[in-house]
Structure 1
């Protein structure tokens, strides 16, 4: 089984609010169609969910956020998810929309719900879920990042491989020279985040990838704007950063 996160910087133009990158979605969908094993897809919010999260000052910490903001974030993520589903469908997949509330209760993951997602993937369909604004309880809500979802799913299903498709080639040891870190270990990599990203940016991805790799699953950071690199990672070759 392959678990892949499609970064918001791949499927949207993060410099332009509410702007999808449909050609990029199609390119990734075509590559994933060639996988000969079950696939589960998680995607980020990019210039949709993240944009509104910033506008309404919403974060991963559960709080009593503006109800209007919660509704706006959720509606924008549904719109973006529909575009991802449409792209997958027209490129030969049988996508199955899996809202994060199907496997989350408050801020805790439901192993039963995640195992069911695994069964759906094994049936020939492609579960698709995404980062979202979720109910926490006691009138509180929070932002659940797609990166965190990757860890929740990986801990239960133990996929063969996890791929984070980014807008960069991987981690850099230095942003100025853009020297790529081939294998993440004790080396301190250069980590950057955009102002729009309220879920932790690259730092969050590194933390989640490290947690997943400690569970025994290899994790690749690859450039999702170069879809061939996703195919290479699936096949055991890669151009990016490896966590293991």
Structure 2
């Protein structure tokens, strides 16, 4: 598989690797194995971020963490997403990817729901030494709210900006972003966003972080502050992850203009 001299960030959505209808966490391990095998041939610098799916959203909703601080809820939610991360990282290593867990709870501080600081020194060293950091949506400490839910979709642009990533792929359970006729929109920019935002939906399961619209908004904001184009594509399709990592532009491209 082709390598990339810059940093590639690959997001795998919670809807791809878990049953988001479950209330207690159910991982699609066969899908994770397939995706891990598609990743295993990539030789460039890679960061993986995965969604929480049914390992985080139901728990956060149960304890109303988006509304206020709850100590037990923070622990339960973090432990749930950490359990999914353990599965993902374990399978990646089984398939030959030298993956290492990086839990946002342990290195991130938010302010009113947005990342204000994340320690990246260890991630930089991991990339230099050929390791693959694997982050995820998580509950993190918040200077204003006590705790916040930080989605993988918020982690991506922060990492991309701070580490100057060159390529971003957001693997979802849909063939990109659809218009009102169910056709994939090839490109979304700040120029056409207002006319299509009404078509962009949420999530099929419990999601406390904004679903597809949340993804688009985060990637659009990234496009405004950098020259990075992001691609939202269907990671449930066999070969799509490897196609993205091979340099193909698939799904919906999101950029500033």
Deviations 1:187-211 (A, max 9, x none): 5152111351111111110011112
Moved over 6 A (4+): none
1:82 to 77, 81, 86: 86
Q: In the alignment, which residue of structure 2 is the partner of 1:184?
A: 188
CA shift, 1:110, in A, is 3.4
Q: In the alignment, which residue of structure 1 is the partner of 2:38?
A: 31
Kept after mapping to 1: 8 A contact 2:78/2:105:
no
Deviations 1:155-210 (A, max 9, x none): 11121200101011110012xx3111011121515211135111111111001111
2:179 counterpart SS class? strand
Kept after mapping to 2: 8 A contact 1:7/1:164:
yes
CA shift, 1:227, in A, is 4.1
Q: TM-score, normalised by structure 1?
A: 0.91
Kept after mapping to 1: 8 A contact 2:108/2:141:
no
Kept after mapping to 2: 8 A contact 1:6/1:43:
yes
Structure 1, gaps ≥5 residues long: none
1:199 to 199, 202, 209: 209
Name whichever of 229-238 and 10-19 sits farther off. 229-238
**CA distance in 1: counterparts of 2:42 and 2:254, whole angstroms:** 21
**CA distance in 2: counterparts of 1:98 and 1:109, whole angstroms:** 17
Q: In the alignment, which residue of structure 2 is the partner of 1:160?
A: 166
1:222 to 233, 240, 245: 233
1:93 aligns with 2:102: no
Q: TM-score, normalised by structure 2?
A: 0.86
CA shift, 1:139, in A, is 7.3
Name whichever of 71-80 and 209-218 sits farther off. 209-218
CA shift, 1:144, in A, is 0.9
Q: In the alignment, which residue of structure 1 is the partner of 2:154?
A: 148
CA shift, 1:27, in A, is 1.1
Q: In the alignment, which residue of structure 2 is the partner of 1:121?
A: 127
**CA distance in 2: counterparts of 1:218 and 1:27, whole angstroms:** 26
CA shift, 1:122, in A, is 2.6
Kept after mapping to 1: 8 A contact 2:105/2:138:
no
**Number of equivalent positions:** 238
CA shift, 1:97, in A, is 1.1
CA shift, 1:109, in A, is 4.2
Kept after mapping to 1: 8 A contact 2:223/2:254:
yes
Kept after mapping to 2: 8 A contact 1:147/1:205:
yes
Please, what is the CA RMSD of the aligned residues? 1.8
**CA distance in 2: counterparts of 1:73 and 1:80, whole angstroms:** 11
